[in-house]
Each structure stands twice: as structure tokens, then as C-alpha cells.
Amino acid sequence: SAVISQKPSRDICQRGTSLTIQCQVDSQVTMMFWYRQQPGQSLTLIATANQGSEATYESGFVIDKFPISRPNLTFSTLTVSNMSPEDSSIYLCSAEGQGETQYFGPGTRLLVL
Amino acid sequence: GESVGLHLPTLSVQEGDNSIINCAYSNSASDYFIWYKQESGKGPQFIIDIRSNMDKRQGQRVTVLLNKTVKHLSLQIAATQPGDSAVYFCAENYQAGTALIFGKGTTLSVSS
């Protein structure tokens, strides 16, 4: 299984600012994904982080708001730009291991005031 | 679009009982299914998975059943313990290399 870490684990931010979340995997993986989880809700896919090319975004999520980097096979970042209180959520990184199993990081808990 | 749903948002059981958590999926093309456990303040943790060419798969105290005819997935937890209290999500995947589609989650509460 892949071990995934995220930084920061939580943050409180002012509206209008941006936060970059880092995701590190302990092994090389082809597929990495970013999800958002609103309080008490399920997980919603934001985008697929493609290594060497632009991320693929789901409907409702745009690159200007959630720019993603994937510089190599073990690391990705998600930036939440120009934040508003509606962006308060848990942001989760996942990576696909062997046999399509996806493993998740611990999440980044974001509160926007 | 395709979605995965759960029948019950909450389930309360006594310690030592067996728990059954259900999930209905809508995409008949999905061929891989996973159950995750999410404890408060943590990310989803892999419990068990099953492929569409199987009907049943067992792990340690957990069993996943797949009924493709009615597109139903269930997670059975034997001898439920307080440490099993968490939110359980089913997820489906219809193609390798694509993201999972998650159900809404069932909160399992175990009282001792």
C-alpha cells in the first residue's frame, strides 16, 4: 500500500488569500487525485493530477480556482485560490496503488474566515 | 452521472453484534468496488475491495458481498467493536486509472 502525507494538516485562512496543499507519496505512482469533502458529506473529485501535463478537472472545478501541480511521480500540490468561506472543507489527496486500489492522505482541514 | 448511494445514513449496534452496511450503485459497467472506513479527523482508510467477477470476498472480520443483478454491495462486520465506530463509504470504479465514485456514507455507532 502507498503511504500518503499531506501538509498542512489544517489551516485557518482569511478570505481572498490562497493556500497551497502538498501531497507526498512514499512510492512512485501513476495516478494521483484531489478530492474535497464538505463537513458531514461524501468525497467529491476535484481533479486528476497528471504527471507532466495539465490536470483534468471535474465539472464545477476550474484551474484558475484550484491550480494543481504534479512535478514528479511522488508529489502533487493543490492551491485553493482567492478563498471564500464556501471553500471551508477537507481536502484529500489520493494515489492509485497496485490493482486500482486508491489510498488516501490524512486530509487538510481548511477554515476560511 | 453515475452515482453510488447507501441505503441508511446511520446504523447503531451493540458491541459484539454483526453489522451490515449496504450500498447501491448505478453504473453496471463498474468492475471494481472498495469499502473505506473514515474515522473522525482522518482520511478514508481502505478496508476491503472486490472485483465484478466475484460475489464475495472475506477479510479479517469483514466480508463484502456483491450482487451484480441488482447492483448492490454490502459490508458485513463480524463481532463489531467500539473501534469500528466510523463513517463507511463504498466506492466504485469502472476503469483503471480513473477516480473513484463515492457513495454518501453510513455512520456506524457501536455502543458497549
**Does residue A56 have a pLDDT over 60?**
yes
Looking at CA atoms only, how far is residue B21 from chain A in angstroms?
16
Q: Which residues of chain B have a CB within 8 Å of the CB of A35?
A: 99
Taking residue A48's Cβ as centre, other Cβ atoms within 10 Å add up to 19
Q: Which residues of chain A have a CB within 8 Å of the CB of B98?
A: 48
pLDDT at B65: 98
Mark yes or no for CB contact B49/A101 under 8 Å: yes
In order, the DSSP letters of A41-78 are S-EEEEEEE-TTS--EEPTT--TTTS-EEEEETTEEEE
Compute the distance between CA of residue B108 and CA of residue B87 in angstroms, rounded to an integer.
6
Contact B49, B73 (CB under 8 A): no
- Average pLDDT score over residue span B94-109: 89
Looking at CA atoms only, how far is residue A100 from chain B in angstroms?
6
Question: For strand B10-14 and strand B106-111, is the pairing parallel, antiparallel, or unpaired?
Answer: parallel
What one-letter code names the amino acid at B77? I
Q: Which residues of chain A have a CB within 8 Å of the CB of B103?
A: 42
In order, the DSSP letters of B12-74 are EEETTS-EEEEEEE--TT--EEEEEEE-TTS--EEEEEEETT-SEEE-SSEEEEEETTTTEEE
Task: Please report where in the chains the cell 458485513 appears, as a residue.
Answer: B76
Q: Which residue has the higher pLDDT, B15 or A52?
A: B15
Q: Is B63 buried (19+), middle (13-18) or exposed (0-12) by CB count in 10 A?
A: middle
Mark yes or no for CB contact B99/A92 under 8 Å: no
Q: Is the peptide bond before A8 cis (omega within 30 degrees of 0)?
A: yes
> What proportion of chain A, given as a percentage, has pLDDT over 70?
100
The angle subtended at Cα A102 by Cα A25 and Cα B67, nearest 5°, is: 170
- Average pLDDT score over residue span B59-72: 95
Question: What nine digits make up the cell of B55?
Answer: 460475489
pLDDT at B7: 54
**Does residue B6 have a pLDDT over 80?**
no
Mutate to test the interface with A, among B32, B102, B107 (most CBs of A within 10 A): B102
Confidence of residue B102 (pLDDT cuts 50, 70, 90): very high
Looking at CA atoms only, how far is residue A9 from chain B in angstroms?
10
**Does residue B95 have a pLDDT over 90?**
no
The minimal CB distance from A105 to the residues B36, B43, B46 is found for B43
pLDDT at B1: 32
**Does residue A100 have a pLDDT over 80?**
no
Question: What nine digits make up the cell of B80?
Answer: 463489531
pLDDT at A101: 87
Give the torsion sign (CA, B83, B89, B93, B99). negative
User: Across all residues in chain A, what is the average pLDDT?
Assistant: 95
Q: Which of A56-60, B37-41, B95-99 has the lowest mean pLDDT?
A: B95-99
Q: In terms of CA atoms, which chain B residue is nearest residue A37?
A: B43
Which tens digit of pLDDT belongs to each residue from B13-53? 999 999 999 999 888 899 999 999 999 999 999 999 999 99
pLDDT at B8: 66
**Does residue A82 have a pLDDT over 80?**
yes
Mark yes or no for CB contact A102/B100 under 8 Å: yes
Partners of B87 in beta bridges: B38, B107
**Does residue B5 have a pLDDT over 90?**
no
Q: Is B29 buried (19+), middle (13-18) or exposed (0-12) by CB count in 10 A?
A: exposed
Q: Which residue has the higher pLDDT, A30 or A63?
A: A63
- Average pLDDT score over residue span B66-84: 96
